[in-house]
Structure 1
Amino acid sequence: MSNPTHIGFIGLGVMGEPICRNLARKSGARVMAFDLSKEPLQRLAADGVKTAATPAEVMQQCDVVFLSLPSGEVVAALSRDANGLLANARAGQIVIDLSTSSVNTTRELAGEFQGRQARWVDAPVARTRAAAEAGTLAVFVGATPELFAQVRPLIATFAADIALCGPVGCGQVVKILNNMMLFEHVVAISEAKNIGERAGVDPKVLFETLTQGSADSFALRNHGMKAVLPGEFPERAFSVRYAQKDLHYALQLADETGVDARGAKLVDEWFDQAIASGAGDQYHPVISTLMARKD
């Protein structure tokens, strides 16, 4: 298993397709993939990726199976389907979930796969599609040190920074909190832009000057400078709806751990407002356009 000869991949969306391509090009293994859409499968065929007819076929043919799916709910449904991942899991197989899922779902599924003598790794990814294409994602892993050592070389085909965060579920904890902090920062950036502009400061001057002080951050230089400042909030980026899904995982975790996460709750209100205004499918910093108070 340290050098798997057959790798499976399920879910070829915005992030999944370039991750799968890097695995096919760099892992030295044969890769089989499944997706409901035919287009990414057709594009990946040029890199030798074989098309599977069903997720069951991927599980039956592959030693290691990667998942890159929209939510933990989708992961759980696919796993527990009558002819799904669990029904076709076997002893020694490794399933690596790159999706962002709830911590509870992750740990429950890990236990269910363990009952089939298969192993589960949560490895949610961070950064952009461009990073996925370049193979420079950040990945937060929940696994035993021994299992981490086994899967790390495969993850390294598409990631530049790989962190073992603790046992199963801990990768999801770190990813969820990473996104929660980012969303809260985007709210602060959006507030600053709107206040500064109305108080007479050019937003470009404001943001460029803030990068020179203690307010500087990745979020300011990327979400602020590249989305909020030019007002560019495309679809098929990290949309409000997807962001809110991750935020709800964080709020669920806060509730379970007894933490009053007021900042995260405020972000949730902005996401609700964005969806109500028809902007739910746009890049999540679009909330910056909603802050002009109507007196």
Structure 2
Amino acid sequence: MSASTTIGFIGLGVMGGPMCRNVATKHAGEVLAFDLSKEAFAAVEGTKAEPVASIEEIAARADIVFLSLPGGPQVEAVALGPILRSGRPGMAVVDLSTTPVAVARKVDAELATAGIDFADAPVARTREAAQKGALSIMVGASKAVFARIEPLLAYMATDITHGGDVGCGQVLKLVNNMLVFENVVTLAEMMVLAERAGVSGETMLEAVSKGSGDSFVLRNHGRKAMLPREFPEKSFPPEYVLKDMSYVFELAQETGVPIRAAETVRKYYEAAVKAGLGGRYFPGVIRLVEDGTFADDADEAGVAAPASAKSSEPVK
């Protein structure tokens, strides 16, 4: 990518901040940054990233604009509002957020009327990976746009997958996230089951990690959060899980695919918010298994739950 290429970055939150920092550190050209919160600019202090006063200024000056926003409504409002009004033909917008597939395709179609290219490029992995520039990014874009933005994505990621045309990046991200959310719930149930049956959680994780039950969730969410029962604030909470899951259900409805297991998992995270676990790291759903909260909710919903599921006593 030419040193004359100016990059704009909108959204300096938990993931956007470290991603923008990597871009500002590695890109030879100008980097412009915007966030509604003045405090968010601390994420790029000490870099050449130039804070700007408005999205319109980024749209007018940047050749490539990255978005890292909370979800579909914000992406649509920013891309089809100030960027569409102030942008120019030949620029490109790259959305790093997680949004509905339909939103990605709508934004692409409307930006195209102004000669603006678009790619959906949602990111996977943790904040730590974002800080290290070691994310996985799944991209939906034409081949030409992908070739144009891939070197820039490499500032933030070690793994970049071109999934197909616009929208395919979001398909891959939603599938990835849903598998994680389901795996966390399944692991939570099996960890508590093992503990109640006399096997420590640590031993259970160690043994399963050596067999066919091993997984990324087990080695990361299981070991780092669920085993020590540490679910910090300002991490990915169940409210964010439910937001992403709503996009999964939208896609399932659009494609006519039944996702029954996902329906049960969604009830878990709804119960987590109801039980006061909102705002904390989402693997905290293990608490619902431990105290029987989800079993109680299942009874109220008319779902049969074994009586033993409510017991807080370990098996003797």
Checking the alignment, whether the CA contact within 8 Å between 1:7 and 1:64 is kept in structure 2 is yes
State the match for 1:25 in structure 2.
25
Choose from 126, 134, 143 the match for 1:136: 134
Q: Distance in 2 between matches of 1:152 and 1:34?
A: 22
2:271 to 258, 270, 273: 273
Give the match for residue 13 of structure 1.
13
Match of residue 193, structure 2, among 192, 195, 211: 195
Distance in 1 (alpha carbons) for counterparts of 2:208 and 2:88: 54
TM-score for both structures, normalised by structure 1:
0.96
Per the alignment, residue 202 of structure 2 pairs with: 204
Larger-Rg structure: 2
Runs of 4+ in 1 over 4 A off after TM superposition: 1-4
Q: 1:97–1:123: 8 Å Cα contact kept in structure 2?
A: yes
Deviations 1:85-105 (A, max 9, x none): 211121001000000000000
CA distance in 2, matches of 1:200, 1:276: 30
Would you say 1:44 and 2:57 are equivalent positions?
Answer: no
Q: Distance in 2 between matches of 1:115 and 1:75?
A: 17
Question: Which one-letter code corresponds to 2:61 in the other structure?
Answer: Q
Within a 5 Å distance, the mapping from 1:80-119 to structure 2 comes to 80-81=80-81, 84-119=82-117
2 and 107 in structure 1: CA distance in 2 versus 1, 3 angstrom threshold: farther
Alpha carbons of 1:78 and 1:240: their partners in 2 closer, same or farther (altered >3 Å)?
same
CA shift, 1:80, in A, is 3.2
Relative to structure 1, the CA distance from residue 121 to residue 3 in structure 2 (aligned partners, 3 Å threshold; closer, same or farther) is farther
Matched, 1:228 2:226: yes
Whole-angstrom distance in 2 between the partners of 1:288 and 1:2: 49
Alpha-carbon RMSD: 1.3
Whether the aligned pair in 1 keeps the contact of 2:80 and 2:110 (CA below 8 Å) is: no
Task: Tell me the equivalent position of 2:58.
Answer: 58
SS at match of 2:46: helix
Partner letter of residue 163 of structure 1? T
- Residue 5 of structure 1: CA displacement? 2.2
- C-alpha distance in structure 1 between counterparts of 2:260 and 2:144, whole Å: 38
The corresponding residue for 2:255 is 257
> 1:100 corresponds to which letter in structure 2?
T
Q: Cα deviation per residue 1:164-190 (whole Å; 9 max; x = unaligned)?
A: 000000000000000001111111100
Q: Normalising by the residue count of structure 2, what TM-score does the alignment of the two structures yield? A: 0.90
CA distance in structure 2 between the partners assigned to 1:245 and 1:160 by the alignment: 26
Alignment partners' CA distance in 2, 1:40 and 1:237: 16
- Any idea what the Cα deviations from partners look like across 1:16-51, whole Å, max 9, x if unmatched? 111111111111111011001112324524201111
1:108-187 counterparts in 2 under 5 A?
108-187=106-185
Q: Deviations over 1:56-81 (max 9, x none)?
A: 11101111000000101111122233
Query: How many matched pairs?
Result: 293
Task: Report the Cα distance in structure 1 between the residues aligned to 2:151 and 2:164, rounded to whole angstroms.
Answer: 18
| CA offset digits 1:217-265 (Å, max 9, x no partner) | 1110001111111101111111111111111111111111111101111
| Aligned equivalents of 2:45, 2:64: Cα separation in 1 | 19
Q: Any conservation in 2 of the 1:186–1:219 contact (CA below 8 Å)? A: yes
Change (3 A) 1:138 1:210: same
- Return the letter of the residue paired with 1:98: L
Identity of aligned residues (%): 46
1:79 & 1:43 partners in 2: Cα distance?
23
CA distance in 1, matches of 2:42, 2:197: 53
Alpha-carbon deviation of 1:4? 4.9
How far, CA to CA, are the matches of 1:113 and 1:13 in structure 2? 25
Structure 1 partner of 2:300? none
SS at match of 1:46: coil
